[in-house]
Structure 1
Amino acid sequence: MHNIHIISPRHFSIAAALVAVVLWSAAPLLAEQARDVSPLPLAALTLLAGALVTLPLSRREPTRHLSMGWRLAIWLGLPLLTTGAVSSYFIGMRLAPASDAALITYTWPVLFILLSQWITFGRVRFSSVLGAIIAFAGVALLMVPQALSGSHEGSLAGYGFAMLAAVCWALYSWLCQAAPASLTPLMPRILLIACAITAAAALPLGSSLTLPSQNALLAGIAIGLGPFGIAMVAWDKALRLGKASVIGSLAYGVPVLAAAFLVLAGMSVLDWRLPIAGALVVGGCLQASRR
């Protein structure tokens, strides 16, 4: 038995975090494969797939002892934020270049840090404010030329939806962190509620819920199984077993890796601003998370 090498929790947590990072980075590429599906039906499909793949984790977790406010936050707030984050993400990638929209969406760690500090301590550290300025300088590098030209209103709207997705993810993360109950066993039901909300919102807006093409259907299911299923579980395990500061820093590579996947697949053009903006966003996230 002494010859058997057992993986330490630290190494396992880093491996699990890297699995989540790679799966999240593949989401924009998979979304581009499903462009013939409207954003809201695509969001509903991915949320349904995410609920099904996390179903084995479901178990009875009583919430009756929680206050009415927290029960509303868990069963209504989290599904609404999930719907807003996923739907806005897909809409942003349709209206703006997918690599740009993915980069803007992944400013959410900075927003999460600022929100957590403000609510917990009633103030925000200077290092976090400086990190936010650096990260949003990268966002401005992408948005300002579009705004000055005045000929890409669709891209500007896409950037706005991508930023809305970032805000929703930041609020979602804060609620998950602050919730007085374990949310992992509740995740399948939360995702199913979010799926129902998304599907209900798609009907009045004229979105068709007809069965998409085979490639789009497989891409949508893959997004739900990977980025919104396996990745969430892997990330939860990584945070529980590893050092939060180390694990959290790995997430900052997602927008750069996502942009690289899109460029290598020929679905995005490597503009000189994109790598500089990516470096600013990652650097800003790292600066904001410094102790």
Structure 2
Amino acid sequence: MNGYLTQPPAAINKLFSLGAYGVALYFLISGYFSYASVKNSKSIKEYAYKKAIRILPMYYLSLVCTFILDALILKDLPISWEWLYHIPFLNMFVPSQEWQWWNSVNFFWTMPAFVAWYIISPFIFKYINNAKKATLVTMCTVCITPFLKKWMYYFASEQFVNWNFFCLLYVFLFGVLACFVIQESKKVYGILSGVGIGILGLICGNKSGFFAFGLAFYLCIVAVSCFNIRFESTRFKNTIKALSNITYSVYLSHYFILKLCNRVISNLYWPVAYIGFIVMALGIGYVLWRFVENPVANFLRVNPQT
């Protein structure tokens, strides 16, 4: 096909082929903000409800749309009982010797990881409540993961193992560590701890791309925090807030936008096609947030005074 998928130079294609590892940043950010989310909830029940109304409505809407588009209309995916794995977020946790379509369709391979993290984080934070404890737990998890993978290879494929929540837990913990390091103003300690964790991880055989990118993102966040950069511009703050609002809707809709781009703008010169994709992603994401995600969340949100 001309354009969108085939015209970019090799370097650009290589850059975008690494996009899956960009998910490590999402995992890390989830870990970073989880502590405040848990502490700002009056109970585990309130915490779970807030997460549910944020995640589930848009997730299930996207799941239904994916099934209709890919299985019923385009017939790119089979009509199979394995779709049921996605309802309780089991597609990442059902072992398979092959990386099956139901493991990776759309964004669904990542959603079980997010949900699993949100389930265990209230219990994790009963123990991890400072930078030193976060360092210890992150270091142990990074070092144990290669051995966990070797055990899992006996009953699951390599890709299934590498992209499994239990083998990616340390990326969320990098976010937790960054949170405490910045909160306690231990920036130098945080950088030295990150370097130490990186060295120990390599010694233990943790050579995953997610490890490299997760550690890099962690070090960048801590390093930037050392400069105490403040943006006072109201326009800048509003832009960041708007982008953060639509991030989830953009993430859930990007699969459909890619499919649309393949059919509508794929013959355009590749920079134009990529810009078109970004504009469409942001635009559709905003519409979904404005008219679906936000209204549904507001409707379901518990009134603190009731």
Normalized per residue, the structure richer in helix is: 1
Query: What is the TM-score with the length of structure 2 in the denominator?
Result: 0.37
Q: Give the greater-gyration-radius structure (CA).
A: 2
Give the alignment's TM-score, normalised by structure 1. Answer: 0.38
